[in-house]
Structure 1
Amino acid sequence: MAEIKQTNYDVIVIGAGPGGMTAAMYASRANLSVLMLDRGIYGGNLNNTAEIENYTGFKSIMGPDLAKEMYEGATQFGADYAYGAVEKVEVVGEVKQITTDMGDVFTAKAVVIATGSSQRKLGVPGEAEFSGRGVSYCAVCDGAFFKNKHLIVVGGGDSAVEEGAFLTQLADKVTVLVRRDQLRAQPIVQDKAMQNPKMEFVFNTSVTEIVGDDMKVTGVKTVNNVTGETGELAADGVFIYVGSDPMTAPFKDLGILNAKGWVETDATMATKIPGIFAVGDVRDTLLRQVATAVGDGAIAGQQVFKYLDEQK
């Protein structure tokens, strides 16, 4: 990462996931000075994703590999990249002032919010206690620790089923606990998983507690959502995929969030505040996928240029 030598930019992109990196690429390609700020490594949730089979141009690609390709594209026209969790965004006239947890203060004429979403927690006893000791939210990050083990995946959407399938490459068995009577994952994802001999699906079942010994997870306590019958299932690890929540705490005082905390935008990715745009999973949108985030980013990158051009 190149050293950042300035604090004032035309555009600051908060978040370097697929949407943020695309917005940075389009804006820098329009000869605007651009800074991408992220609390961690570029790529966002791509780094927590195993195999991606629904992004145009790749029959199959690992999430971290796609992140690297996108980062190289985002920085090729001069966009800067820096670490820092944004703590506050203030609007001073037409200037946006951004303060990070590192104490850095940046200013910009326009801002693109691309902070994405975080994995939702189950909120059951034992989840926090055993986090990092058998409880995980990232198959790519932690799957290798569970070779030849029995794992539980909680959830019924695309992420749960796809990450469960990835884990079967390492584990002996993966049991997927689904609180409803059917999966929400796409049919093609379901079909592939149902044919996997290492995967088992248990429906109408919720986890009520994650249990373990002094060292690690040993299993989960469950309840059948139809009969009320309780039970306990032994396992060496629990991977949780039950949805996501927007990462919008720094923007709560701007008046651009809906009741559930998602950023509201129009079709141009613009929020209620002139010069502030939002893209990707942080938006109040119908679909949260890599492809839709990239599309949002392309629109925002162009609209930022148009907005700044009109301010001249």
Structure 2
Amino acid sequence: MVDEEHELTIIGAGPGGLSAVIYGERSGLETIILEEKTAGGMAAEAPLVDNYPGLEEIKGVELMGRMKKHARKYTEIRELHPVRKIEKGDSIFVETDEKTYATDALIIATGTDHRKLNVPGEDSLEGKGVSYCATCDGYFFKNRSVLVVGGGNTALADATYLLNLGCDVTLIHRRNELRAEKALQEGFLEGGGRVIWNSVLEGIEGDETVQKVRLRDLKEDTESKMEVDGVFVSIGEYPRSELASDIGVELDDSGYIKTDEKQRTNIPRVYAAGDVTGGTKQIVVACAEGAIAALSAYEDVRNPYWVK
């Protein structure tokens, strides 16, 4: 049974999804957006965004709060509303625990999720010293020792954020050089951060909270232990593309959704935007893709040329 019908339904309220709301409604499509958690996506976790045009320095959570407020001018954002299933027939049907939505067009903007280390102690101590979000949990480790795992831009941004909070920060990286931008590396090292090179984290130990970690030096093939109060894992993300895959949307070898230059997938009237499409993972890019996807949906719904 269909509970609601919409011209355009968007799954995911990160930068891509929120941008799609604005462009979808402004083009004249009756639009709804569904979000599993709270609006903002992983962009809200960014300690500082200093490359979004027109906003020299802004916290990720503040930027996403502005986007959320803007999108709400046009339609309701249904948060804590996870999508369980998508079916494609004459219409597209989107099922949640509460309702089934029929829609003429669908934009998938489900983003990515944090990649895990899959080492002993990681799952059992998650939320007890193991974290994937420095801006969410960093405050609790003020004046305490933490280990950040990773070597890219996000890892260095997280590590620097923790330093600025007053944490004693050590970064561990499996190679002898970092992948992050030079400015981020310099900021971390000049701020007093330390790096353990050519090493990996092999286990996390603690009774009720994190107490120590097991490390392996890959160059010397030796193991050591280090006492820490927290572990922040920042080793990248994986695409949340399962819903798309279930209806036959084509994915690349890494699981990201394939789209054309208009954000169309291989399934008629199904589009994708944001980090779930891979490529350059930047807030401004996700916003652009969301806008393009919504305008493509308008073209196809109002001036259809796809064969249903």
TM-score past 0.5 threshold: yes
Q: CA deviation at 1:91?
A: 0.6
**1:178 maps to 2:198:** no
Match of 1:254 in 2: 247
RMSD over aligned CA atoms reads: 1.3
| In 1, Cα distance between equivalents of 2:254 and 2:279 | 14
Q: Secondary structure at the match of 2:177?
A: coil
| In 2, Cα distance between equivalents of 1:73 and 1:188 | 32
Q: CA deviation at 1:252?
A: 2.2
Report the identity percentage: 33
After superposition, the C-alpha distances for 1:76-117 in whole angstroms (9 at most, x for unaligned) are: 2x2221131111111112x110011x2311111000000000
Match of 2:76 in 1: 80
Q: Secondary structure at the match of 1:61?
A: coil
Q: Secondary structure at the match of 1:73?
A: helix
Q: CA deviation at 1:169?
A: 2.2
TM-score (norm 1): 0.93
Match of 1:32 in 2: 29
Q: 2:224 aligns with which of 231, 236, 242?
A: 231
Unaligned runs of 5+ in 2: none
Q: 1:271 aligns with which of 265, 271, 280?
A: 265
Q: CA deviation at 1:161?
A: 0.4
Letter in 2 for 1:261: G
Q: Secondary structure at the match of 2:78?
A: strand
Q: 1:192 aligns with which of 179, 187, 192?
A: 187
Match of 1:121 in 2: 116
Match of 1:3 in 2: none
Letter in 2 for 1:171: G
Runs of 4+ in 1 over 4 A off after TM superposition: none
Q: 1:98 aligns with which of 88, 94, 97?
A: 94
| In 1, Cα distance between equivalents of 2:25 and 2:159 | 38
| In 2, Cα distance between equivalents of 1:239 and 1:251 | 30
Instruction: Trace 1:1-312 onto structure 2 (pairs within 5 A).
Output: 7-76=4-73, 78-83=74-79, 84-93=81-90, 95-100=91-96, 102-197=97-192, 199-212=193-206, 214-256=207-249, 257-283=251-277, 285-311=278-304
1:120 and 1:243 in contact (8 A); partners too? yes
| In 2, Cα distance between equivalents of 1:298 and 1:47 | 19
After superposition, the C-alpha distances for 1:234-269 in whole angstroms (9 at most, x for unaligned) are: 110000001101112222222222333211111110
After superposition, the C-alpha distances for 1:211-254 in whole angstroms (9 at most, x for unaligned) are: 11x22101210111222121111110000001101112222222
| In 2, Cα distance between equivalents of 1:232 and 1:56 | 44
| In 2, Cα distance between equivalents of 1:11 and 1:190 | 43
Letter in 2 for 1:65: E
Q: CA deviation at 1:21?
A: 0.4
Q: Secondary structure at the match of 1:206?
A: strand
Q: Comparing 169-178 with 239-248, which one deviates more in the overlay?
A: 169-178
| In 2, Cα distance between equivalents of 1:158 and 1:227 | 27
2:141 and 2:167 in contact (8 A); partners too? no
| In 2, Cα distance between equivalents of 1:164 and 1:50 | 10
1:154 and 1:176 in contact (8 A); partners too? yes
| In 1, Cα distance between equivalents of 2:140 and 2:230 | 9
1:112 and 1:278 in contact (8 A); partners too? yes
| In 1, Cα distance between equivalents of 2:71 and 2:299 | 19
Q: Secondary structure at the match of 2:211?
A: strand
Q: Secondary structure at the match of 1:58?
A: coil
Q: Comparing 264-273 with 40-49, which one deviates more in the overlay?
A: 40-49
Q: Secondary structure at the match of 1:252?
A: helix
